[in-house]
Chains A and B, each alone.
Chain A
Amino acid sequence: MKANGSVFKYGNNVDTDVIIPARYLNTSDPKELAKHCMEDIDADFVNKVNDGDIIVADKNFGCGSSREHAPLAIKASGVSCVIASTFARIFYRNSINIGLPILECEEAVKKIDNGDKLDIDFKAGVIKNLTKNEVYQAEPFPEFIQGIMAADGLIQYIKNNLNK
C-alpha cells in the first residue's frame, strides 16, 4: 500500500466533533459525511482536498466520540493517510477496522509543514517528504493488525476466518 499527496496540517487534540460535527450524523453515507469533513476547524478543507492528500496532526488525533463516521468522512474525502504523533484509541481502532491507513510518527509531525508533498510506504512505515527531501520512519503495525489491514478491514478478516 502506498500513498502520495499534499499535506493538511493540524495541531493537538483534533476531536471527532470537528472532524464530523454531530449535526450531520443523521446519515451514515460516507459521501454525505465527506461534504462536512473538518468543517468546524477548517471550513476550506473540503474545497481544497484532492484524492491522495494526507492529514498530519500532532497528539491525540480523533479524541472524543466513538463515531466511525469520523474516519469514514476522512476516507471518503479522498485522504489517503493520516499521520499523527499519537491517536486517540477508538479512532485508531476504527481506522484500522475500516481500512483508513494511519501512521504514528512524532518526527514526521515535527518536520512536515502544511502543503508538503509526501510519498508513503505503509508496509515499511517509510514516509518520504518530497518537498524537503527528508525520510522519516514510522512505527510499523503489529502483525495481527497488519493481518486486518491486509484483509481490507475487520469485516473481511472475520469472514476469512469464519470460512476457514
Chain B
Amino acid sequence: MGMTMTQKILAAHAGLDSVKAGQLIQANLDLVLGNDVTTPVAVKEFNKIGVDKVFDKKKVAIVPDHFTPNKDIQSAEQCKFIREFAHEKEVENYFEIGEMGIEHALIPEKGLVVPGDVVIGADSHTCTYGALGAFSTGIGSTDMAAGMAIGQCWFKVPSAIKFVLTGKPQNKWVSGKDIILHIIGMIGVDGALYKSMEFVGDGIQHLSMDDRFSMANMAIEAGGKNGIFPVDEKTLAYVKEHATKPHTVYTADEDAEYDEVYEINLAEIEPTVSFPHLPDNTRKITEVGEVKIDQVVIGSCTNGRIEDMRVAANILAGKKVAKGVRVIVFPATQKIYLQALKEGLIEKFVQAGATFSTPTCGPCLGGHMGILAKGERAIATTNRNFVGRMGHPESEVYLSSPAVAAASALTGKITNPEDIA
C-alpha cells in the first residue's frame, strides 16, 4: 500500500522503508522550536534530563515573540530565563528583539526549514511550514525539552484527508485565508483531528507562498496534526531565495490511502469570515449582515506577511479609518517591516489612521498591544476567535483576510472589499 506525502517524510526520518497510519515511530528532528511562553517550561524539563547540551546547536530555534517587547516584569523574567539558556547552550538560532519576528514567519524567512524536513515546535501553529513541503507540527514544552536533548520525537503516524484544489480564484479579494476558513467551516474544528491535511491539485499553482503559509498555518484550527503542500516551482524559488541547507522533495504515492477526499473549486470561494467563538463558524462575506466593530487587527503568524501588508495598505491608501475604530497593523518580521517601509506601505497605514507595530504575537492571543474590553468586537486576520481570546471573556473576535479587515476599518462594520474599491 502506498504512503501519503507526510508518511513518506516520517518514514525517512524514522529510518524505515515504509510506515502506516497508527504506527508509533521515533523520528529524527531537523528543527526544534520554542517561544517565550513555552520555552521556560521546556528549559525546566530539559534540566531534569541531565544532559549538558542540546543535541545540535544549529537545530534548535528559540524565538521570544509572544509577550515581547516584554509586557511586564514577569514576562521579562521569562525572556531573561530563556535568553540565558540559549546563550549557555550556544543555541545558534536565538532571535532577540531587533532581529526577531513572529516565529512562523521568521523560521521560513531565515531558511531554517526546507522541503522534506521534520520540525516540532512548542507552538500550535508550527504546522505553518507544511507550505514548504515539510512535516511540521505543534507539540508541548515537554516534547520540546526531549527534542532538544535527544533530537528525536515519538509520533503516531497520521492518516490523511486529501483536499483537491481545482480552478482559479475568480473573486480578486480571495486569498489563502479565505480558502482555509472555507475548509474549516466545511469540516469543523475537529474535522481533521489527529490527521494530515494534504493539499493537492491544479489550483495550487494559483496560490502564492504567502497564501500557502496562511493555509498550512490554520490546519491546527481543524484539529489537524499537519497541513502539507506539494513542492512546486514557487516552493523551490522560495527555498532558493531563503535557504542554503539541502532539501528533499517527497511526493505522495499514487495508491496512497486517504480517509476522505474533498474537491474544492477555488473559483467558487468567496471572502469568508469566522464568527465567534469558533473558527468553523464561517459565513460568506455576502451573508455577514450588519456587524459593527471597535477594533481591527491585521497581522499575526497567519496574515502578517508582505502580501497581507500590501493588500491592506492599498485598500486603506488615501482614505481614513472610520471614527471610533482602532486599527492595529503588525508585520510578522523585521524584514517584512523593512519591506513595508521601502514600499511606502507604512505611510499609507499611518496616513489612514492605523497604528503600525513592531512584530509581536501580542494582540492575537490577548497578551498585550490591543486587548478588548467587555462587550467589544474586533475583526482580526489572526487564527482563533475562542471565548476571551483577545481580551475580556465577553468580547468577540471575527476572523477574516487582510482585505476584509482593511475594508471593515474604513466603514466600522464588517465589509466586503468589493463595496469599497
Contacts and interface: CB of A to CB of B under 8 A. Distances in A.
Given A18-B388, A68-B41, A26 B143 contact: no
Interface stretch (A46-54, A91-99, A123-131): A91-99
B38 A68 contact: yes
Interface residues of B, number: 52
Contacts, number: 136
B366 A21 contact: yes
B139 A90 contact: yes
Interface string B65-80: 0110001101100100
B47 to A, nearest CB: 10
B418 interface: no
Interface stretch (A74-82, A113-121, A132-140, A155-163): A155-163
Contacts of A22: 37, 66, 365-367, 389
A59 interface: yes
- Residues of B contacting A: mostly: loop
B142 A40 contact: no
Interface of B: 24, 37-38, 40-41, 44-45, 48-51, 66-67, 71-72, 74-75, 78, 121-124, 126, 138-143, 145-146, 149-150, 154, 189-190, 193-194, 220, 223, 225, 278, 365-367, 371, 384, 386-389, 393
A97 B278 CA distance: 27
Contacts of A154: 142-143, 146
B140 A90 contact: yes
23 contacts: A13-B189, A13-B278, A17-B365, A18-B388, A21-B388, A23-B366, A23-B371, A64-B384, A65-B124, A66-B38, A66-B124, A66-B126, A66-B140, A67-B140, A68-B141, A71-B140, A88-B190, A89-B223, A94-B143, A144-B24, A162-B49, A162-B50, A162-B150
A150 interface: no
Given A67-B38, A86-B190, A155 B146 contact: yes
A60 B189 CA distance: 8
B123 A27 contact: no
Given A40-B387, A68-B41, 5 more contacts: A28-B40, A69-B41, A90-B220, A153-B142, A155-B49
Nearest to A153: B142
B45 A40 contact: no
Interface residues of A, number: 40
A59 B139 CA distance: 20
A40 B387 CA distance: 7
B49 A159 contact: yes
B225 A89 contact: yes
B124 A40 contact: no
Contacts of B140: 66-68, 71, 90, 93-94, 97-98
Contacts of A21: 366, 388
A112 interface: no
B124 A64 contact: yes
Contacts of B365: 17, 22, 65
A40 B388 contact: yes
B384 to A, nearest CB: 6
A60 B193 contact: yes
Contacts of B78: 26-28
Contacts of A142: 24
Contacts of A13: 189-190, 278
Nearest to A15: B386
A158 B138 contact: no
Contacts of A40: 387-388, 393
B122 A86 contact: no
